[in-house]
Amino acid sequence: MNAAPLVALVGNPNAGKSALFNALTGARQKVGNYPGVTVERHSGRLVLPDGRPVELVDLPGAYSLEPSSPDERVTRDFLAGTQAGERLPDALVVVVDASNLDNHLRFTLQLIALGLPVVVALNMIDLAERDGLKLDPERLSRELGVPVVPTVAVRRRGLDELRAQVDGVLTGAPCAKPAPAEAEDIVTLQRRARKIAALATVSEAPVRRWGHALDSVALHPVSGVLMLLAILFVMFQTVFWAGAAPADAIAAGFDWVSGVVKHLMPDSVLRSLITDGVIAGVGAVVKFLPQILVMFFFILLLEASGYMVRAAFLMDRLMAHAGLSGRAFIPLLSSFACAVPGIMSTRTIDDEKDRLTTILIAPLMTCSARLPVYTLIIGAMIPNVRVLPFVGLQGLVMLGLYIMGVVGAFVVAVVLRKTVTQGASSGFMMEMPKYQLPQLNHLAIGLWSRAAIFLKRAGTTIAFTTIVLWAMLSFPKPPEGSPVSPVNYSIAGRIANGIEPVFRPIGFNRDIVLALIPAMAAREVAVAALGTVYAIDESGSDGGEAQIATTLAKRWSLPTALAFLMWFVFAPQCISTIAVTRRETNGWKWPAFMVGYLFALAYGAAGATYWVAKFFGL
Amino acid sequence: MNMFSRVDSHLSLESLPNRQPATVAAIDWARLSVPEARRLRELGFDEGVGVEVLHRSLIGKGPIACRIGRMTVALRRTVAGAIRVSQHAA
């Protein structure tokens, strides 16, 4: 009885629902997850005119009560009172786009027929007026049989009136129920909606949006592609430019904490656990947070401005070759910086199989964590010669590795679409929202929730895994005076001994196998791990990496180095990616499949490279 | 409702020239998958609704963007091919 009433905000996608939610709740909101699905639950506190609080939930946008995506299923279940852990809402605020009444009223009619108290927010009324559309909210209210409040969420217009009407439907007598709408099919509803829209429209000018002019540039086969390339260029430059300094600062911060702990604690197993295990391991992952956030900033910006669908439109043809839709393009592209934001942003893909395929191939995009490994090995093993004017062999090998990843991803996508993620593609059919200026608070909330998800992962799954890896590298300790180094004596060293025969056919020696074990945490750890294996003290001199490179050049054959690079193109050596895949697919089945197929590919590709290189006498 | 249905209905949305207002005459639902058909209805495609092709992506085979009612929608050509339209008399 004492619980605050629950009111759900519901409506079509692109009705300005989130903007209205932000305007109504301000900073008092919470972002969580519905149990069992990767759909975010946004809730906040709305204060009624008399000061009573109401819990307001922003439901995912939907076109009807017949769900075609996990998001829409949550909306349907929530409204039916069958969503796990949720109670039936006490009232609904239905948000409709004033300039798109024909379409949005159909869903409104469906919602009114549910029988819950309803208030309709006739949102973005200013844009409709600018569009030459004059509406009669009172007539609309009469036709629908529920209160209608014109609102402009971004300018905070109509909010008080909306609060008052919510108060009214919550406390007042239940409003007159409209004629029962049961068993009405979508076409009948649509026709009724169009009739009501026509009645509520006072006058109408033909659609003339400035957005159409922008679209003739943004969707043009030539200028549109150039514009997309320019946006991507800026995005990637910013990710690496703005992400680098904070990443270094975070790394330095973790080093500093590690130094303090070393200073305060006597040398012991516990100290090693804290510094070499937890701090170093979590630091290696958290270091990527700035880049991930910059990437997400751009993704949220593109999404909120309405451009994302345009990019998908341009790339749909290309992606269709791999059995995917244009929606997969941005997540895959983000994965070039880091697969973690890439996989998290697949939530914008409606079709579950499209989404799953995209998640499974995302790790094949060459992420920034592979760069230190590629740079080290290429620098050490590939001669710095020019094969053509301005074309160096080292750069060519690097480019080749990137291309291998992309080609691999396309081939894998085609195979997956015919096997495990088989099924009719839902194609590409989507509403292109109006262009909008993104709202800063909306971006900030989105960024914060992504950062929280990532840090929570780093603090739990990833911290735990790095401790396990540390233990494997540290125990058991060799007896006093043993000629065997601690790493070689440890469990990891023994595992490396055990599995080395498996890797011998693809040209890997035991040292490489040993370095691959800690590099499971994050790929670039391989660089430091090679240093450890070859007993090079990195901290002693600033020439740590140069020393590793010299050692590698002496100890590795060229076929081995090439095989090692190939391994890194495919191998799923990243705990964060595995953890985020588990989260986004709700279970271990798909991450296990991903790890399995990527290791198999890595093994095959590295082996083939090794033997081809040997055959040509490299 | 049916005043346009007999005019030029051999024309599909796929072959409708850009920026030429037309009306949906008929939709060949049998050519569409169940989810495609449902989404198409949800986006407001129905006989008698005004439609206009706004943009075509990469010449030849990419999706098209069209206006339906007061909304802009992107469709693949296979779907657009199932939508018969009649052009308004000039």
Q: Chain B contacts of A99, Cβ < 8 Å?
A: 70
Q: Model confidence at B83, in pLDDT bands (50, 70, 90)? A: very high
Kindly report the nearest CA distance between residue A93 and chain B, in angstroms.
20
Is A219 within 8 Å of B79 when comparing Cβ atoms? no
Q: What is the CA radius of gyration of chain B?
A: 12
How near does any CA of chain B get to the CA of A99, in Å? 7
Taking residue A474's Cβ as centre, other Cβ atoms within 10 Å add up to 19
User: Which of A309, A432, A434, A435 to probe the B interface (max B CBs under 10 A)?
Assistant: A432
* Contact: A429, B43; criterion CB under 8 Å: yes
At A407, is the pLDDT very low, low, confident or very high (cuts 50, 70, 90)? Answer: very high
| ipTM of the modeled complex | 0.88
Q: Which residues of B touch A431 (CB under 8 A)?
A: 43, 71-74
Handedness of CA A348, A351, A356, A361 (dihedral sign): negative
Which residue do the tokens 């080609």 mark? A407
pLDDT class for A277, splitting at 50, 70, 90? Answer: confident
The Cβ of residue A422 has, within 10 Å, a number of other Cβ atoms equal to: 10
The model's confidence at residue A149, banded by pLDDT at 50, 70 and 90, is very high
The residue with greater pLDDT, A390 or A121, is A121
pLDDT reading at B8 higher than 60: no
For domain B11-87, give the fold.
SH3 type barrels. (2.30.30)
Higher confidence at residue A243 or residue A184?
A: A243
pLDDT of residue A574: 87
Q: B42–A186: do the CB atoms touch at under 8 Å? A: yes
pLDDT at A174: 56
Report pLDDT for A541.
43
In three state form, how does the secondary structure of A568-595 look? HHHCCCCHHHHHHHHHHHCCCHHHHHHH
Mean pLDDT of A174-203: 75
Is A510 a residue whose pLDDT tops 60? yes
Return the number of other C-beta atoms located less than 10 Å from residue A282's C-beta: 19
Cβ atoms of A190 and B71 within 8 Å: the answer is no
Highest mean pLDDT, choosing among A144-158, A170-184, A210-224: A144-158
Are the beta carbons of B74 and A232 closer than 8 angstroms? Answer: no
> What is the residue extent of each domain of chain B?
11-87
Q: In chain A, what are the domains?
A: 6-208 (3.40.50.300), 465-615 (no CATH)
CB-nearest partner of B39 from A219, A316, A429: A429
**Overall average pLDDT of the A21-25 stretch:** 90
Q: Which ranges constitute the DSSP H helices of A66-144? A: 70-80, 101-112, 125-130, 137-144
Which residue in B41, B70, B71 is closest to A186 by CB distance?
A: B41
Task: Express as a percent the part of chain A with pLDDT over 90.
Answer: 35
Residue of A nearest to B46 (CA): A187
User: Is A316–B57 a contact, with Cβ atoms under 8 angstroms apart?
Assistant: yes
Per-residue pLDDT, averaged over A373-398, amounts to 85
* Burial class (CB within 10 angstroms; exposed 0-12, middle 13-18, buried 19+) of A245: exposed
Q: What is the largest CA-CA distance in chain B?
A: 36
Q: What is the pLDDT of residue A177?
A: 52
A353: closest CA of chain B, how far (Å): 13
- Position A557 scores a pLDDT of 92
Average pLDDT, chain A: 86
A217: closest chain B residue by CA? B55
% chain A with pLDDT above 70: 94
Would the pLDDT of B3 be above 70? no
Q: How many CB atoms lie within 10 A of CB A214?
A: 15
Most confident region among A293-297, A408-412, A573-577, B53-57 by mean pLDDT? A408-412
Q: Which two tokens stand for residue B83?
A: 């939508």
pLDDT at A533 over 80: no
Residues from chain A contacting residue B43 (CB–CB below 8 Å): 63, 103, 429, 431
> What pLDDT does residue A600 have?
96
The pLDDT assigned to A469 comes to 81
Helix (H, G, I), strand (E, B) or coil at A386: strand
* Mean pLDDT, residues A446-471: 79
Structure tokens at A438: 């993104």
Q: What's the pLDDT score for residue B58? A: 61
Q: Is the pLDDT of residue A466 over 80?
A: no
Quick check: helix, strand or coil at residue A202? strand
The partner residue sitting opposite B38, judged by closest CB among A66, A106, A194, is A66
Measure A219 CA to nearest chain B CA, in Å. Answer: 6
Per-residue pLDDT, A542 = 44
User: Which of A217, A500, A274, A316 is CA-nearest to residue B60?
Assistant: A316
* Contact yes or no for A57/A6 (Cβ under 8 A): yes
What does the pLDDT read at residue A540? Answer: 43
Identify from A134, A429, A431, A435 which residue to disrupt to test chain B contact, counting B C-beta atoms within 10 A and taking the largest count: A429
- CB within 8 Å: A207 and B70: yes
Question: pTM of the full predicted structure?
Answer: 0.82
Q: What is the full DSSP assignment across B13-81?
A: TTTSPTT--EEEEEE-GGGS-HHHHHHHHHTT--TT-EEEEEEE-STTTS-EEEEETTEEEEE-HHHHT
The verdict on a CB contact (< 8 Å) between A430 and B65 is: no
CA distance A349 to A346: 6
Query: For residue A194, which residues of chain B lie inside 8 Å, CB to CB?
Result: 49
Percent of chain B whose predicted confidence (pLDDT) is above 90: 37
Residues of A in contact with B44 (CB under 8 A): 102-103, 106, 190
Residues in chain B: 90
Task: Tell me which of A69, A73, A431, A434 to substitute to probe the interface with B (most B C-beta atoms closer than 10 Å).
Answer: A431
> What pLDDT, in 10s, does the model give residues A215-229?
989 998 889 989 998
The shortest CB-CB distance from A432 to any of B35, B74, B78 is to B74
Residue A536 pLDDT exceeds 80 = no
Q: Closest Cα partner for A573 from A501, A474, A491, A465? A: A465
> In 10 A of CB A12, how many CB atoms?
26
In chain B, residues with a C-beta closer than 8 Å to the C-beta of A221 are 56-59, 62
Q: How confident is the model at residue A560 (pLDDT cuts 50, 70, 90)?
A: very high
